[in-house]
């Protein structure tokens, strides 16, 4: 039995979260809406159809993970 390593919080990129809160949907029915304010069913639709390539797709995937895991409260202080 060795000594237990202390648990550390996972790395978190605060700058990426701030950038995400400012990103807006560039096309479609929700053009101009902040990604964090997109309706969950719309984001789930993207998850089923496939996220776009690039930065937008990465951002939508992050929003999807946050929404489906009930973590939207993380955005509240950033709105």
* 30-69 confidence digits (pLDDT tens): 999 999 999 999 999 999 999 999 999 999 999 999 999 9
What pTM was estimated for this model as a whole? Answer: 0.78
Residue 76 lies in a domain: yes
Residue 11 lies in a domain: no
Task: Please determine, for residue 4, whether its predicted confidence score (pLDDT) is greater than 70.
Answer: no
Closest CA to 20 of 75, 76, 71, 70: 75
6-32 pLDDT, tens digit per residue, is 555 445 677 888 889 999 999 999 999
Task: Please determine, for residue 1, whether its predicted confidence score (pLDDT) is greater than 80.
Answer: no
Distance, CA of 77 to CA of 79 (rounded, Å)? 6
Residue 79 lies in a domain: yes
Residue 28 lies in a domain: no
Query: 40 CB contacts (<8 Å, ≥6 apart)?
Result: 67, 68
Residue 7 lies in a domain: no
Domain region containing 48: 39-79
Residue 48 lies in a domain: yes
Cβ–Cβ < 8 Å for 19, 3: no
Number of structural domains the chain divides into: 1
């Amino acid at each position: 039995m060795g000594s237990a390593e202390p648990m550390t919080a996972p790395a978190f990129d605060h700058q990426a979260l701030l950038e995400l809160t400012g990103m807006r949907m560039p096309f479609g029915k929700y053009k101009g809406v902040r990604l964090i304010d997109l309706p969950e069913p719309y984001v789930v639709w993207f998850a089923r159809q496939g996220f776009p390539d690039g930065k937008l797709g990465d951002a939508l995937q992050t929003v999807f993970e946050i929404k489906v895991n009930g973590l939207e409260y993380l955005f509240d202080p950033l709105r």
